[in-house]
């Protein structure tokens, strides 16, 4: 397929006048022009996302034999994943740890988003930029910072020993699930905060005044007006943070010990030392499917909660 760059800005001029058939033709022409502008992006994403994803789906049904694959089209990889406790444990643990990190972040981020939406009146943009800045910059370094803090001879241990609170370094800090959850919560904070902020910001202030005029106190107003109206943001923030954190492998690799490895680490191993690519592909697809399943369950739960609240 050849890509034509018809990037002139005339798309909408002609379509206004003329007979209906001409207009229809021009409309089709117009969407063709739009598609031509989109084509480079779609072609590139087709080659780098869709084709690889189809290939990965296919390969997940193959079997690794020595250094080669057999394209024998069996679901053996998937039955192994579902029957071997190692895989199911890691999968469930990843979902659980991502959930814990998401919950922690949403709870911590909500008051901050509330503060930004209702109590910051000047320099709001600068506040938002400062909150989102770390999120844009090196993920690896932000995770490494936690290793510096939680390490055996790290900031916390050596700091506590220095002021005489502990005599021996605490072993529990680094290489634990808690370490991974804290690090994930810190690394993805902006992702959960922004949608909550946006939904709070959108609330019409006159609605709040109306509720106050009708005699509701601040607490009732929060639970009956603000919280329900900001739920779409909370749900969006939950998804935006939960989905990517399930698949993370950098954080468990750097601050999690053997008991805090996640499904991403297992996927990485299949493409590294274990060298079983079909199994890695099957694990990656299982990861996506389980994220989707949990996401749907969560949405169902929210829907049920909303009906119950009415």
Partner 1 sequence: MIKRHEFHKPNRALQLYAAFFMGLLYIPILFIPLFSFSSGLYIRFPIEGWTFQWYAQLFERTAVLRALENSVRVAGSVAVVSTLLGIFAAKALVRYRIPGKGPILGFILLPLVVPPIIFGVALLLMVSTLGIPLSLYTIAAGHIIICLPFAIATLLPRFEGYDAAMEEAAADLGENGWYVFWRVTVPIILPGIVASLLLTFTVSFDEFVMAFFLGGNDLTLPLYVWGQLRIPRAFPVVLALGTLILLFSFALVFLGLKINKRGSIKIMDRE
Q: 82-121: which residues touch partner 1 (CB under 8 A)?
A: 108-109, 111-112, 114-116, 118-119
Separation of alpha carbons 63 and 77, rounded Å: 8
Phi and psi, residue 209, nearest 5°: -65, -40
Q: Interface with partner 1 includes 166 (CB under 8 A)?
A: no
Residue 281 lies near partner 1 (rule: CB under 8 A): yes
Residue 38 or 86: which CB sits closer to partner 1?
38
CA distance 147 to 229: 39
Residue number with CB closer to partner 1 (213 or 307): 213
Distance between CA atoms of residues 20 and 203, nearest Å: 43
Q: How far is CA 115 from CA 109, 198, 213, 244, in A?
A: 10, 12, 22, 26
Please report whether residue 79 would count as binding partner 1 according to CB under 8 A.
no
| Residue 293 contacts partner 1 per CB under 8 A | no
* 195: its two tokens: 């949608």
Is the Cβ of residue 151 or residue 256 nearer to partner 1 in the bound state? 151
Write down the least CB distance from residue 308 to partner 1, Å.
26
**Residue among 75, 133, 207, 305 that touches partner 1 (CB under 8 A):** 133
Does position 7 bind partner 1 by CB under 8 A? Answer: yes
Under rule CB under 8 A, residue 282 binds partner 1: no
Our measurement of the distance from residue 167's CA atom to the centroid of its chain's CA atoms, rounded to an integer in Å, reads 40
153 lines the binding site for partner 1 (CB under 8 A): yes
SS3 248: coil
Residues 16-55 contacting partner 1, CB under 8 A: 27, 30-31, 33-38, 40-42, 44-45, 48-49, 51-53, 55
Closest distance to partner 1 from the beta carbon of 174 (Å):
12
Question: Cα 244 to the chain's mean position, in Å?
Answer: 3
Q: Least Å distance between CB 89 and partner 1?
A: 19
CA dihedral of 268, 270, 274, 275, whole degrees rounded to 10: -120
Give the interface segment with partner 1, choosing from 73-81, 172-180, 282-290, 300-308 (CB under 8 A): 282-290
Q: How many residues sit close enough to partner 1 to count as binding (CB under 8 A)? A: 104
Contact between 233 and 197 (Cβ < 8 Å): yes
The Cα angle at residue 212 between residues 192 and 204, in degrees rounded to 5: 45
Q: What is the DSSP letter of 247?
A: T
Shortest approach of partner 1 to residue 247 CB, angstroms?
A: 3
């Amino acid at each position: 397929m050849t890509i034509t760059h018809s990037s002139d800005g005339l798309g909408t001029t002609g379509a206004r006048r003329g007979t209906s058939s001409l207009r229809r033709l021009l409309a089709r022409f117009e969407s063709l022009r739009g598609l031509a502008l989109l084509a480079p992006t779609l072609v590139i994403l087709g080659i780098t996302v869709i084709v690889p994803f189809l290939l990965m789906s296919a390969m997940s049904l193959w079997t690794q034999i020595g250094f080669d694959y057999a394209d024998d089209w069996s679901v053996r990889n998937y039955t192994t994943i579902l029957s071997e406790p190692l895989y199911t444990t890691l999968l469930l643990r990843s979902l659980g740890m991502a959930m814990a990190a998401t919950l922690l972040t949403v709870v911590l981020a909500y008051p901050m988003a509330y503060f930004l939406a209702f109590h910051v009146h000047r320099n709001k943009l600068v506040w938002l930029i400062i909150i989102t800045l770390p999120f844009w910059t090196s993920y690896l370094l932000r995770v490494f910072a936690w290793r510096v803090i939680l390490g055996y001879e790290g900031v916390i241990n050596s700091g506590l020993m220095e002021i005489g609170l502990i005599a021996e370094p605490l072993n529990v800090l680094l290489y634990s699930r808690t370490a991974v959850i804290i690090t994930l919560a810190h690394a993805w904070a902006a992702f959960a905060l922004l949608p909550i902020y946006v939904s709070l910001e959108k609330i019409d202030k006159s609605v709040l005044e109306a509720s106050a005029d009708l005699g509701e106190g601040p607490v009732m107003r929060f639970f009956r007006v603000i919280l329900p109206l900001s739920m779409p943001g909370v749900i969006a923030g939950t998804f935006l943070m939960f989905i990517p954190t399930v698949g993370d492998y950098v954080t468990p690799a750097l601050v999690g010990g053997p008991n805090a490895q996640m499904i991403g680490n297992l996927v990485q191993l299949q493409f590294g030392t274990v060298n079983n690519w079909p199994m890695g592909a099957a694990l990656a697809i299982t990861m996506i499917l389980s994220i989707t399943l949990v996401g749907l369950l969560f949405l169902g739960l929210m829907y049920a909660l909303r009906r119950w609240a009415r």
